[in-house]
């Protein structure tokens, strides 16, 4: 890797927890727990490398359709993982994006507490996409803009790409430079569709619980080998 060309924002679709557990004859919740351990390792390595934003696709709006026991186990993992001192140890700020109104009250409260507790950390920002989907996010942004137009606060000519970006949940950070998806699937699954318009995409077969620092390095090295032209020659 070229340490002078580390992507500033890495987004990850952490896929394969359930299949990893099934391959070992374990319940899916076992895979999600193992996935939390991977989050700790990758977060630490990203801070060491100088990544400024790490966004993790943790739970989509579609995931609410999963069996209730699996959803409950995932919500429980959110609570326990937020107790992790990895945020303070690595000087990581925690942020969350998504339709938080659908979350249990205790989970929502813990998320806000963690955001407040880590607000002064500066080395890296970890963003968890929880109860999130890009179509939901874009719909909410459109409603917000439409309401302002109706009230006369905006004119049609005021609606620009910049304005739309400013109404998205991710307005506080730059768009991802690199999107990584583990688990062998080659799709983006309703994840930051607006924001990844010019992101470099990297897919690997490794299930998320087995994804390690070397896998991260390979993804970054692949990113560094690409010529990012943004439509130019």
Instruction: Give catalytic residues, as residue numbers.
Output: 15, 63
Angle between helical axes of 68-81 and 28-49 (0-180°, round to 10) = 30
d(CA 18, CA 186): 17
CB 107 within 8 A of CB 81: no
Side by side, the strands of the sheet bearing 53-60 are 92-97, 124-132, 53-60, 9-13, 178-181, 200-203
- SS3 letters across 168-190: CCCCCCCCCCEEEECCCCCCCCC
Strands 53-60 and 124-132, bridge-based pairing = parallel
d(CA 8, CA 175): 9
Listing DSSP states for 74-107 in one string gives: HHHHHHHHTT-THHHHTTEEEEEES-GGGS-HHH
């Amino acid at each position: 890797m070229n340490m002078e060309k580390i992507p500033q924002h890495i987004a990850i679709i952490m896929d394969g927890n359930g299949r990893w557990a099934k391959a070992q004859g374990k319940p899916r919740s076992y895979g999600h727990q193992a996935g939390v351990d991977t989050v700790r390792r990758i977060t630490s390595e990203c801070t060491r490398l100088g990544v400024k934003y790490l966004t993790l696709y943790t739970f989509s709006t579609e995931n609410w359709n999963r069996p209730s026991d699996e959803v409950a186990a995932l919500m429980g993992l959110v609570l326990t993982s937020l107790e992790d001192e990895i945020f303070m140890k690595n000087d990581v700020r925690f942020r969350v994006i998504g339709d938080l109104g659908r979350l249990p009250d205790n989970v929502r409260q813990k998320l806000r507490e963690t955001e407040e507790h880590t607000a002064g950390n500066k080395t890296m920002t970890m963003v968890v996409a929880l109860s999130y989907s890009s179509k939901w996010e874009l719909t909410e942004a459109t409603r917000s803009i439409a309401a302002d137009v109706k009230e006369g606060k905006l004119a049609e000519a005021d609606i620009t790409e910049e304005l739309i970006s400013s109404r998205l949940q991710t307005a506080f950070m730059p768009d991802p430079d690199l999107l990584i998806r583990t688990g062998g699937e080659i799709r983006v699954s309703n994840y930051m569709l607006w924001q990844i318009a010019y992101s470099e995409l990297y897919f690997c077969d490794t299930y998320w619980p087995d994804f390690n620092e070397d896998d991260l390095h390979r993804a970054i090295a692949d990113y560094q080998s690409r010529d990012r032209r943004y439509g130019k020659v």
